[in-house]
Structure 1
């Protein structure tokens, strides 16, 4: 049999923005409980008092406050260097038998160019390349004949160095991307390694995205 607490927790966790607002204590619990009541009663199969839902929300908010304020914030305050690079081009190609070899030749060509930004990722059906616009002609040359499905220009990258604890604290990326979403920033690409991540955004959004990430240290 489902308990009120478990149903309330499932309800909140299914709504990311509500989850964050609850953890920050900026929601009126009584008003939220009134809105939730019909669905919670339906889940538990009996009539409930509004106070029972309020108490469950209060316990959940305290738990979330601990998880976010004491764990995630510790990591965010230790964010390291933030690096911005532009202008960039973003390419997407379909996987083929020859694309890996061609991409390798491209990488060999630009390997000695220390001021060039380059990253490549391979999915199940697609290969993605983000590269400095100054050498985009090399992509056209070396990947000639490959099926390109997408190309976006006038992009910028923001690379963030994370402390090593980021690998053991859940919710770090969710918290960062949530802040970016709140500001209406569209992410063209997300690239990550163990202790850093890079987002690719339109040039017009780079200043706003940089400010959001920089301000995370003060959350």
Structure 2
């Protein structure tokens, strides 16, 4: 195999593991069947050379991920929950951003009552169901891509140190995903991570994060 080909395989293997921090951590611990993992990577990444994948896995550096570090950060975090949430997604345009600003301007009472999010595929509004009922007639139906109601939020408010803590958002998300909780939307900004979930999953998610707080230490800071 040519050196360039080996480098390409190695870079693809590393990129794959970066998407799965828990898997990379398991590789660090030596509890992964390399041949089985190589076959999975081969199938998902379209790499034909199983031997090259195994060689790359053997040479991959330590991930640097530590569950203890992540748990300690969660221990020092505040957890908040909200219910009866609407997520509205409109077609991406400057006009729709202005529309969302204008329709919410006179009804919201607090800083955390709503969020307006600008993204490449759409602009979103996260708002209480009751408040949405007050503004929905002002929003053209042909501009709506999607609207979901009756959702819940669990908000992880961490310290600013998470900006430099690799894999923290992925770790928090994996706790939910590994327990069968579907994340409807995720919003991560500065030191806050907001998971928007189906309402029936909020209590289960809260218990998961409380368990992580306990495993990271005894001190808890929780707001319901």
Confirm whether residue 86 of structure 1 aligns to residue 83 of structure 2.
yes
TM-score calculated relative to the size of structure 2: 0.72
Confirm whether residue 105 of structure 1 aligns to residue 110 of structure 2.
no
TM-score calculated relative to the size of structure 1: 0.74
Q: Over aligned residues, Cα RMSD in angstroms?
A: 3.5
Work out which of the residue numbers 65, 81, 85 in structure 2 matches 1:67: 65
Q: How does 1:206-217 map to 2 (within 5 A)?
A: 206-217=202-213
Change (3 A) 1:144 1:10: closer
Residue ranges of structure 2 left out of the alignment (5+ in a row): 40-47, 217-224
Confirm whether residue 41 of structure 1 aligns to residue 51 of structure 2.
yes
Q: How does 1:14-163 map to 2 (within 5 A)?
A: 14-15=16-17, 16=20, 17-23=22-28, 25=29, 27=31, 32-35=33-36, 36=38, 39=49, 41-42=51-52, 56=58, 60=61, 63-64=62-63, 67-69=65-67, 71-78=69-76, 80-112=77-109, 114=110, 117-144=113-140, 147-163=143-159
Change (3 A) 1:152 1:41: same
* SS across alignment from 2:162: helix
Residue ranges of structure 1 left out of the alignment (5+ in a row): none
Change (3 A) 1:34 1:142: closer
Work out which of the residue numbers 168, 171, 174 in structure 1 matches 2:164: 168
Change (3 A) 1:39 1:73: farther
Q: CA deviation at 1:13?
A: 5.9
8 Å CA contact 1:8–1:40 kept in 2: the answer is no
8 Å CA contact 1:188–1:201 kept in 2: the answer is yes
Confirm whether residue 200 of structure 1 aligns to residue 196 of structure 2.
yes
